[in-house]
Chains A and B, each alone.
Chain A
Amino acid sequence: MAKVLEGPGMGLLKKGGMSVPNYVVVTSTEWFEQSASAHAWLKESRLVVKAHEAVGSRMKLGLVKVDLDLAAAKRAVKEMIGKTLGGMTISQVIVSEMIPHKEEYYISVQSTREGAELLLASVGGIEIESNWDKVKKLSVPIGEIPSKNELTDLAKRAGFDKDLVPAVVEFAAKLYQCFDQEDAQYMEINPLVLRSTDRELVALDAVTLLDADARFRHPDWDFSFAAEFGRPYSESERAVMEVDSKIKGSVKFIEIPGGDTALLPAGGGASVFYTDAVVALGGKPANYAEYSGDPPDWAVEVLTEKVCFLPNIKRIIVGGAIANFTNVKKTFAGIMAGFRKAKAAGRMNGVEIWVRRGGPYEKEGLAAMKTLESEGFLIHVFDRYTPLTDIVDMSLKKESAASPRDQARSAKAGSGKAGEARR
Chain B
Amino acid sequence: MSIVADRNTRVVIQGGPAGVNAARRMSEFCYLSKAPLTVQAFVFPPDAGKTIEVPYGGEIVSIPVYKTVAEAVVNYSEINTSLVYVGPDRAFAAAKEALNSESIRLVSMITEGVPERDTKLLSRIAQEKGKIFNGPSAIGIISAGECRLGVIGGAFDNLILSKLYRPGSFGVITKSGGLSNEIIWIASQFADGVTTAIGIGGDAYPGSDYVTYLEMFEKDPKTHAVVIVGEMGGDLEERAADWYAAKKRRIKLMAVISGFCQEVLPKGMKFGHAGAKEGMKGEGSARHKADRLREAGAIVPSTFGGLGPAIKEFYQELLLKGLVKESPAVEPEALPKLPKTIDELRKNGEVLVEPLIKTTLTDDRGEEPLYYGYPASELINQGYQIPHVIGLLWNKKLITQQEAEIIKRIIMLSADHGPAVSGALTTIIAACAGISMAQAIAAGMIMIGPRFGGAVTDAGKWFKYAVENKLSVDDFLNYMKANVGPVPGIGHRVKSVKNPDKRVKELVGYVKSLKIHTPHLDFALEVEKITTAKKDTLILNVDGTIAAVLVDMGFPVESLNGFFILARTIGLIGHWIDQKQQGSRLIRLFDYLINYAAPKKKEVPPLK
Known: A1-B277, A390-B305. A113 touches B120 (CB 8 A): yes
Asked if A16 is at the interface (CB within 8 A of a chain B CB), the reply is no
A318-337 toward B: CB 8 Å interface, digit per residue (1/0)? 00111111100000000000
Are A111 and B269 neighbours in the complex by a CB distance under 8 Å?
Answer: no
Are A273 and B269 neighbours in the complex by a CB distance under 8 Å?
Answer: no
CB within 8 Å of B: which of A256-277?
A: 256, 266-273, 275-277
Report B-chain residues with C-beta under 8 Å of the C-beta of A1: 277
Q: Which of B180, B189, B272, B302 contacts A411 (CB 8 A)?
A: B189
Report A-chain residues with C-beta under 8 Å of the C-beta of B309: 401, 403-404
Q: Which of A114, A214, A252 contacts B115 (CB 8 A)?
A: A214
Q: Among B150-158, B335-343, B406-414, B531-539, which stretch is in contact with chain A?
A: B150-158
Q: Among A64-72, A101-109, A288-296, A339-347, which stretch is in contact with chain B?
A: A288-296
Known: A229-B270, A269-B202. A324 touches B258 (CB 8 A): no
Residue of A nearest to B161 (CB): A384
Asked if B483 is at the interface (CB within 8 A of a chain A CB), the reply is no
Q: Which of A211, A272, A320, A411 contacts B261 (CB 8 A)?
A: A272
Complex CA–CA separation, A277 to B259 (angstroms): 10
Are A292 and B178 neighbours in the complex by a CB distance under 8 Å?
Answer: yes
Are A288 and B177 neighbours in the complex by a CB distance under 8 Å?
Answer: no
Q: Which of B202, B267, B304 contacts A389 (CB 8 A)?
A: B304
Are B258 and A387 neighbours in the complex by a CB distance under 8 Å?
Answer: no
Complex CA–CA separation, A324 to B304 (angstroms): 19
CB within 8 Å of B: which of A140-195?
A: 141-143, 180, 183, 185
Asked if A217 is at the interface (CB within 8 A of a chain B CB), the reply is yes
Report A-chain residues with C-beta under 8 Å of the C-beta of B151: 324-325
Q: Among A20-28, A197-205, A278-286, A298-306, which stretch is in contact with chain B?
A: A278-286
Are B259 and A211 neighbours in the complex by a CB distance under 8 Å?
Answer: no
Are B260 and A183 neighbours in the complex by a CB distance under 8 Å?
Answer: no
Are A270 and B306 neighbours in the complex by a CB distance under 8 Å?
Answer: no
Report B-chain residues with C-beta under 8 Å of the C-beta of A407: 190, 308, 312
CB within 8 Å of B: which of A14-66?
A: 56
Report B-chain residues with C-beta under 8 Å of the C-beta of A252: 271
Asked if A230 is at the interface (CB within 8 A of a chain B CB), the reply is yes
Are A322 and B182 neighbours in the complex by a CB distance under 8 Å?
Answer: yes
Asked if A124 is at the interface (CB within 8 A of a chain B CB), the reply is no
Residue of A nearest to B209 (CB): A113
Are A359 and B155 neighbours in the complex by a CB distance under 8 Å?
Answer: yes
Are A322 and B158 neighbours in the complex by a CB distance under 8 Å?
Answer: yes
CB within 8 Å of A: which of B146-201?
A: 151-155, 158, 161-162, 174-182, 185-186, 189-190
Complex CA–CA separation, A56 to B267 (angstroms): 11
Complex CA–CA separation, A393 to B305 (angstroms): 10
Report A-chain residues with C-beta under 8 Å of the C-beta of B153: 324
Asked if A11 is at the interface (CB within 8 A of a chain B CB), the reply is no
Asked if A419 is at the interface (CB within 8 A of a chain B CB), the reply is no
CB within 8 Å of A: which of B187-222?
A: 189-190, 202, 204-205
Are A388 and B120 neighbours in the complex by a CB distance under 8 Å?
Answer: no
Report A-chain residues with C-beta under 8 Å of the C-beta of B88: 213, 216
Complex CA–CA separation, A183 to B21 (angstroms): 32
Asked if A9 is at the interface (CB within 8 A of a chain B CB), the reply is no
Are B120 and A213 neighbours in the complex by a CB distance under 8 Å?
Answer: no
Asked if B73 is at the interface (CB within 8 A of a chain A CB), the reply is no
Q: Which of B115, B177, B190, B303 contacts A324 (CB 8 A)?
A: B177
Complex CA–CA separation, A228 to B269 (angstroms): 7
CB within 8 Å of B: which of A382-401?
A: 384, 387-390, 393, 401
Are A358 and B271 neighbours in the complex by a CB distance under 8 Å?
Answer: no
Are A271 and B272 neighbours in the complex by a CB distance under 8 Å?
Answer: yes
CB within 8 Å of B: which of A356-386?
A: 358-361, 384
Are B261 and A404 neighbours in the complex by a CB distance under 8 Å?
Answer: no
Q: For the complex formed, measure the closest distance between the CB of B270 and the CB atoms of chain A, giving whole angstroms.
A: 7
Report B-chain residues with C-beta under 8 Å of the C-beta of A82: none
Report A-chain residues with C-beta under 8 Å of the C-beta of B482: none
Complex CA–CA separation, A126 to B121 (angstroms): 35
Are A324 and B116 neighbours in the complex by a CB distance under 8 Å?
Answer: no
Q: For the complex formed, measure the closest distance between the CB of A155 and the CB atoms of chain B, giving whole angstroms.
A: 24
Inter-chain contact count A-B, CB under 8 Å? Answer: 203
Are B268 and A228 neighbours in the complex by a CB distance under 8 Å?
Answer: yes
Q: For the complex formed, measure the closest distance between the CB of A343 and the CB atoms of chain B, giving whole angstroms.
A: 22
Q: For the complex formed, measure the closest distance between the CB of B370 and the CB atoms of chain A, giving whole angstroms.
A: 23
Are A269 and B259 neighbours in the complex by a CB distance under 8 Å?
Answer: no
Chain A interface: which size bin? 35 or more
Q: For the complex formed, measure the closest distance between the CB of A258 and the CB atoms of chain B, giving whole angstroms.
A: 9
Complex CA–CA separation, A359 to B205 (angstroms): 28
Complex CA–CA separation, A388 to B286 (angstroms): 19
CB within 8 Å of B: which of A209-260?
A: 211, 213-214, 216-217, 228-230, 252, 254, 256
Residue of B nearest to A282 (CB): B264
Report B-chain residues with C-beta under 8 Å of the C-beta of A387: 186, 304-305, 308
Q: Which of B182, B204, B268, B308 contacts A321 (CB 8 A)?
A: B182
Are B154 and A322 neighbours in the complex by a CB distance under 8 Å?
Answer: yes
Q: For the complex formed, measure the closest distance between the CB of A195 and the CB atoms of chain B, giving whole angstroms.
A: 31
Are A211 and B176 neighbours in the complex by a CB distance under 8 Å?
Answer: no
Are A293 and B112 neighbours in the complex by a CB distance under 8 Å?
Answer: yes
CB within 8 Å of A: which of B234-285?
A: 256, 258-261, 263-274, 276-277
Asked if B231 is at the interface (CB within 8 A of a chain A CB), the reply is yes
Known: A111-B116, A269-B174. A256 touches B181 (CB 8 A): no
Known: A324-B178, A411-B189. A256 touches B265 (CB 8 A): yes
Q: Which of A217, A229, A254, A412 contacts B89 (CB 8 A)?
A: A217
Are A275 and B155 neighbours in the complex by a CB distance under 8 Å?
Answer: no
Report A-chain residues with C-beta under 8 Å of the C-beta of B112: 293
CB within 8 Å of A: which of B108-144?
A: 112-117, 120-121, 123-124, 139-140
Q: For the complex formed, measure the closest distance between the CB of A412 and the CB atoms of chain B, giving whole angstroms.
A: 8
Known: A275-B261, A276-B261, A322-B181. A254 touches B271 (CB 8 A): yes
Known: A322-B154, A407-B312. A268 touches B260 (CB 8 A): no
Q: For the complex formed, measure the closest distance between the CB of A260 and the CB atoms of chain B, giving whole angstroms.
A: 14
Asked if A115 is at the interface (CB within 8 A of a chain B CB), the reply is yes
Asked if B104 is at the interface (CB within 8 A of a chain A CB), the reply is no
Q: Which of B117, B180, B273 contacts A142 (CB 8 A)?
A: B117
Complex CA–CA separation, A202 to B161 (angstroms): 64
Residue of A nearest to B260 (CB): A276
Asked if A88 is at the interface (CB within 8 A of a chain B CB), the reply is no
The residue among A115, A252, A267, A389 with the most chain B CB atoms within 10 A of its own CB is: A267
The residue among B25, B152, B186 with the most chain A CB atoms within 10 A of its own CB is: B186
Q: Which of B120, B182, B260, B304 contacts A115 (CB 8 A)?
A: B120
Report B-chain residues with C-beta under 8 Å of the C-beta of A229: 266-270
Known: A141-B124, A279-B261, A401-B305. A268 touches B202 (CB 8 A): yes
Q: Which of A268, A359, A388, A408 contacts B189 (CB 8 A)?
A: A408
Q: For the complex formed, measure the closest distance between the CB of A324 and the CB atoms of chain B, giving whole angstroms.
A: 5
Report A-chain residues with C-beta under 8 Å of the C-beta of B304: 273, 276-277, 387-389
Q: For the complex formed, measure the closest distance between the CB of B108 and the CB atoms of chain A, giving whole angstroms.
A: 14
Q: Which residues of B contact A (CB under 8 A)?
A: 21, 25, 88-89, 112-117, 120-121, 123-124, 139-140, 151-155, 158, 161-162, 174-182, 185-186, 189-190, 202, 204-205, 229, 231-232, 256, 258-261, 263-274, 276-277, 286, 302-306, 308-309, 312
Question: What are 19 A-B contacts defined by CB distance under 8 Å?
Answer: A114-B120, A180-B117, A213-B116, A229-B270, A269-B179, A269-B231, A271-B272, A272-B231, A272-B276, A273-B179, A278-B261, A322-B182, A324-B153, A324-B181, A325-B151, A389-B305, A403-B309, A407-B190, A411-B189
Excluding A216-B88, A272-B258, A273-B179, 8 further A-B contacts by CB distance (< 8 Å) are A56-B268, A113-B120, A142-B124, A183-B117, A213-B274, A278-B261, A325-B21, A360-B158
Please list the 3 inter-chain residue pairs (A to B) with the smallest Cβ-Cβ separation, ordered nearest first: A269-B176, A267-B178, A321-B182
Q: Which residues of A contact B (CB under 8 A)?
A: 1, 56, 111, 113-115, 141-143, 180, 183, 185, 211, 213-214, 216-217, 228-230, 252, 254, 256, 266-273, 275-280, 285, 288, 290, 292-293, 320-326, 358-361, 384, 387-390, 393, 401, 403-404, 407-408, 411-412
